[in-house]
Amino acid sequence: MKKERSLAGRILQYGAMMLFVYLASSCSDKAPPPPPPAETAQAANAVAPSAPKMADAKLVVAFGDSLYAGYNLDQEKGLAPVLEQALNRRGMKVRVVNAGVSGDTTAAGLARLAFTLDGLPRKPDLMLVGLGGNDMLRGLSPMETRANLGAILTETQRRGIKILLTGMLASPNMGPDYAAAFNPIYPELAKRYDATLYPFMLDGVIGKRSLQLPDGIHPNDKGVTVIVGKLAPVVAGVLKP
């Protein structure tokens, strides 16, 4: 019972947190601000990693939004570098490219997909796809989210790239109808495109202030470590022959 109450409390906190962000974004008709200059530079540099480091390593592309981009974190403490280090500690030669852009919706991700992949020196061995959270926060149609993610996965599959889809859950304040349409998107698309599914990107972090930035949403460096601790074994399993 104690464990169930704890889980319920985290879900309620998640709903309250998402409601605050949703209301804040809804009160402005301006486009979301661009990512900080350092983050933009990081993403740009990540698209064209140095050839020597890439030569004998598996290439993984982390294609997503602020949760991938390392929002408000030092460059070496974002998801991509921490995941790369974790995989290397497992004895795997892996280069993880940060192709995350803060504020990206699924539509924005789809628009830059070809540019991102074409800018790499070779075809990735794996692409992590983590988009949809901003669609949900803006209350965009789940049908639109599904269509855009489907187009991203279709193109990635067409290029012969393995896919790991990291899912998102609708905030409870969005209502049961929205959740019923949004939450199944990730498992259903993963099944349709034969992609590996990591069900909830913020698993283990939501509701734990010590693992979050002051905004109550994004993980801090400790939160990233928790996420990578859960995600790295899944990535490693996909990369192994």
Count of CB atoms situated within 10 Å of the CB of 69: 29
Confidence of residue 54 (pLDDT cuts 50, 70, 90): low
- Residue 125 appears among annotated catalytic residues: no
Averaged pLDDT for residues 85-89? 97
Band of residue 24 on the pLDDT scale cut at 50, 70, 90: very low
- Average pLDDT over the chain, rounded to whole? 84
Predicted local confidence at residue 241, as pLDDT: 75
* Mean of pLDDT values over 48-62: 71
**Residues 66, 102, 104, 171: which is the catalytic one?**
66
Is 104 designated active site? no
Read off the pLDDT band of 208 (50, 70, 90): very high
Burial grade of 153 (CB within 10 A; 0-12, 13-18, 19 or more):
buried
- State the average pLDDT over residues 86-105: 97
| pLDDT value, residue 19 | 40
What percentage of the chain carries pLDDT values higher than 70?
Answer: 77
On the question of pLDDT at 21 being above 70, the answer is no
pLDDT band at 35 (very low <50, low <70, confident <90, very high): very low
3-state secondary structure of 18: helix
Instruction: Give me the pLDDT at residue 188, please.
Output: 98
* Residue 66 designated active-site: yes
| Region 56-76 average pLDDT | 95
Query: How confident is residue 91, by pLDDT bands cut at 50, 70 and 90?
Result: very high
The mean pLDDT of 79-103, rounded to a whole number, is 97
Residue 228 in tokens: 């990578």
Give mean pLDDT, residues 44-70.
75
pLDDT at 53: 58
Question: How many CA atoms lie within 13 Å of 95's alpha carbon, on the beta-carbon side?
Answer: 20
Question: Residue 101 region, left (φ>0) first, then alpha (ψ -120 to 50), else beta?
Answer: beta
Q: What is the pLDDT of residue 9?
A: 45
Name the catalytic one among 28, 177, 218, 221.
218
For the record, the structure tokens of 98 come out as 């940060």
Round to whole Å and give the CA distance between 61 and 56.
16
Mean pLDDT of the region 72-92? 96
Domains (ranges, CATH) in the chain?
A: 2-29+36-239 (3.40.50.1110)
**Residue 204 pLDDT > 80, yes or no?**
yes
Range scoring the smallest mean pLDDT among 1-15, 108-122, 141-155, 162-176: 1-15
56 — pLDDT class (breaks 50, 70, 90) = confident
Has residue 11 got a pLDDT over 50? no
